[in-house]
């Protein structure tokens, strides 16, 4: 029984081998990734903190810019449709911009903020109401691949459910 509880704790708390960067996803895939988990029904698991609900997206911008590239718009269109779906339409989300560690921290912070705002603006242009979205730049403070600070996977946009 103790092993089962530890295994469930491992799963619920989000201990995973590696994070995944999503380059393509359907509306249905994004709905699944962003739907909050049902609360635990077993008393022994109620004190566990569930893994945050988020998805890391590979969104491309022009070099040194917050201008979205056209090849990222289909993924953002699917994200907007997912956010407007019946299962997610009452939820709020944070749009986080992330950079790699190349360059000055102050510049990366500012660039990541502009990119997060650009994604937020695109989502609102796709009928996601603005009061459901927050944007925040993280710069290189939360690398997806910390052992490779210059890796392209670190340059991403994270969509997180706001509890």
Domains along the chain? 17-36+50-162 (3.30.1330.60)
Contact 83, 46 (CB under 8 A): no
pLDDT of residue 99: 93
> Are 77 and 125 within 8 A, CB to CB?
no
Residues of the chain with pLDDT under 50: 1-18
Identify the H or E element spanning 146: none
Predicted pLDDT at 2: 34
What does pTM read for this prediction?
0.82
Could you tell me how many helices (H) and strands (E) the chain has, helices first? Answer: 4, 5
Are residues 158 and 99 in contact, defined by beta-carbon separation less than 8 angstroms?
no
Q: What pLDDT score does 47 carry?
A: 63
Q: Which pLDDT belongs to residue 13?
A: 37
For residue 96, what are its two tokens? Answer: 């986080």
pLDDT of residue 38: 79
Question: Which residues does 47 contact at the CB level (< 8 Å), separation at least 6?
Answer: none
Q: Are 112 and 139 in contact (CB under 8 A)?
A: yes
Q: Tell me, what's the pLDDT at 43?
A: 67
Burial class (CB in 10 A: 0-12, 13-18, 19+), 108: buried
């Amino acid at each position: 029984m103790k092993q089962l509880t530890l295994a469930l704790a491992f799963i619920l708390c989000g201990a995973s081998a590696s994070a995944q960067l999503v380059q393509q996803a359907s509306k249905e895939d994004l709905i699944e990734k962003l739907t909050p988990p049902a609360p635990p029904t077993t008393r022994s698991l109620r004190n566990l903190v569930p893994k945050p609900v988020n998805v890391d997206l590979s969104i491309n911008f022009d070099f040194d810019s917050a201008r979205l590239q056209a090849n990222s718009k289909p993924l953002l269109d699917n994200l907007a449709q997912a956010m407007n779906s019946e299962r997610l339409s009452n939820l709020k989300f944070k749009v986080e911009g992330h950079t790699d560690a190349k360059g000055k921290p102050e510049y990366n912070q500012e660039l990541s903020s502009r990119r997060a705002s650009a994604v937020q603006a695109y989502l609102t242009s796709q009928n996601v109401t603005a009061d459901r979205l927050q944007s925040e730049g993280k710069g290189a403070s939360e690398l997806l691949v910390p052992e490779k600070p210059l890796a392209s996977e670190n340059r991403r946009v994270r969509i997180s459910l706001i509890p």
